[in-house]
């Protein structure tokens, strides 16, 4: 019998999406095939400590009254001493023991210090292969301003936006307001580098602008002011192929907003009413083919690897790019796995494919 691949699953982290990463870990740890893989769960506390976490997925359940956390159990993961080895060790109770060599790292950490290239850079320094995009694509995908800039340069229509820095807002608020007030209401205010709709506001009156900007600036030093797009919110999942095979896209999913201002954190993760997720979305064959082509083009424009979810608006003038997520939500009910399930690729098989592609391309 072939030896199992050893996979270190990383989750938690220092960002405001810490708890969402824990919920994603619950899905992956619960579905990964233990007959194929030996799993080392590595939890990252909010302070950035790497701990040897539990495989008990019940610890990572999402509850609106008590969001899951990586607890500091005082263990510490010790990364390889050089690129000559892939050995992980753990320090606990004053002793150091080996966890063996890892074949692959599966980082399911959302937000800054996780999917923004920083964690990927650390893994590159240690010479450890990992699932997902590399340093540049992760950094680009995390930053909405630069993502839009690159994707627009690739010839894909993007939602109009203005980028405002915290310094500009503090130093010359009237000038900033004057720029924003040239836009048609309502507008969306978003941190440039955040996810899960954290720090996002819909502004329907310019009197709401200061509070919305301050909320977004709590997450990042730059924020985007985006025009409201009239159209359907359509998402597509992308998977990089094995060497020699093409990157492919899934069927589409649609976010149908029925009773909320937008698809906010509570609707995404706490089952708040007013949102329906429809998969597969009702598109013509020509529309789906165009969406899939645009999704792969956007993925390749930022140099993506492994996986991504690409979000568009379907307007009267066609598809308009909104954003790309290089480490999308990965719970069994998240749109990324749902799109692949609707395309014929089940959750555990999706995990297998991501691991196989990462091993083949980086291992």
Active-site residue (options: 14, 15, 16, 17): 17
DSSP secondary structure letter of residue 158: B
Q: Is 196 a catalytic residue?
A: yes
Q: Which of 144, 142, 136, 134 is nearest to 112 (CA)?
A: 142
Asked if 299 and 306 touch (Cβ cutoff 8 Å), the reply is no
Q: Is 117 a catalytic residue?
A: no
Active-site residue (options: 196, 201, 250, 334): 196
Active-site residue (options: 233, 264, 323, 353): 323
Active-site residue (options: 138, 192, 325, 334): 325
Active-site residue (options: 26, 86, 232, 309): 309
Active-site residue (options: 143, 226, 254, 311): 311
- In the chain the beta strands, taken as DSSP E runs, fall at 5-12, 37-44, 50-52, 76-78, 87-92, 95-101, 104-107, 161-165, 187-191, 201-203, 222-227, 232-239, 248-257, 275-278, 307-315, 318-325
Q: Is 323 a catalytic residue?
A: yes
Q: Is 133 a catalytic residue?
A: no
Active-site residue (options: 117, 226, 329, 347): 329
Q: Which of 16, 18, 13, 26 is nearest to 334 (CA)?
A: 26
Neighbouring C-alpha atoms within 13 Å toward the C-beta of 278: 13
Active-site residue (options: 126, 263, 269, 347): 269
Q: Which of 213, 243, 233 is nearest to 321 (CA)?
A: 233
- Where do we find the tokens 């083949």? 360
Q: Is 325 a catalytic residue?
A: yes
Q: Is 329 a catalytic residue?
A: yes
Q: Is 269 a catalytic residue?
A: yes
Q: Which of 3, 4, 8 is nearest to 99 (CA)?
A: 8
Other CB atoms within 10 Å distance of the CB of residue 153: 10
Q: Is 241 a catalytic residue?
A: no
Annotated active-site positions, please?
17, 196, 269, 309, 311, 323, 325, 329
């Amino acid at each position: 019998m072939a030896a199992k691949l050893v996979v270190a699953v990383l989750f938690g982290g220092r960002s405001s999406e810490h708890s969402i990463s824990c919920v994603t870990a619950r899905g992956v740890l619960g579905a990964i095939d233990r007959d194929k893989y030996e799993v080392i769960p590595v939890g990252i506390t909010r302070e950035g400590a790497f701990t040897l976490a539990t495989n008990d997925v019940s610890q990572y359940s999402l509850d609106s009254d008590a969001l899951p956390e990586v607890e500091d159990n005082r263990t510490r993961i010790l990364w390889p001493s050089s690129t000559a080895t892939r050995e992980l060790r753990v320090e606990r109770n004053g002793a150091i023991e080996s966890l063996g060599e890892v074949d692959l790292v599966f980082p399911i950490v959302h937000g800054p210090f996780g999917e923004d290239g920083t964690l990927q850079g650390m893994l590159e320094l240690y010479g450890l292969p990992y699932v997902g995009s590399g340093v540049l694509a992760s950094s680009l995908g995390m930053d909405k301003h630069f993502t839009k800039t690159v994707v627009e340069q690739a010839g894909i229509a993007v939602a109009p936006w203005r980028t405002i820095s915290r310094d500009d807002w503090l130093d010359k608020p009237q000038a900033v307001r004057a720029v924003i007030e040239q836009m048609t209401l309502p507008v969306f205010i978003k941190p440039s580098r955040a996810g899960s709709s954290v720090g996002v506001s819909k502004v329907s009156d310019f009197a709401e602008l200061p509070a919305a900007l301050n909320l977004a600036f709590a997450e990042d030093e730059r924020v985007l002011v985006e025009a409201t797009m009239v159209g359907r919110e359509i998402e597509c999942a992308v998977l990089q192929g094995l060497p020699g095979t093409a990157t492919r896209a899934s069927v589409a999913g649609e976010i149908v907003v029925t009773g909320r201002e937008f698809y906010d954190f509570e609707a995404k993760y706490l089952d708040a009413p007013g949102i329906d997720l429809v998969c597969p979305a009702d598109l013509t064959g020509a529309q789906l083919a165009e969406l899939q082509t645009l999704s792969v083009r956007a993925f390749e424009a930022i140099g993506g690897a492994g996986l991504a979810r690409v979000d568009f608006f379907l307007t009267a003038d066609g598809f308009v790019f909104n954003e790309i997520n290089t480490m999308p939500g990965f719970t069994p009910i998240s749109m990324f796995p749902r799109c692949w399930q609707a395309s014929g690729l089940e959750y555990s098989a999706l995990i297998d494919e991501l691991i196989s592609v990462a091993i083949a391309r980086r291992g």
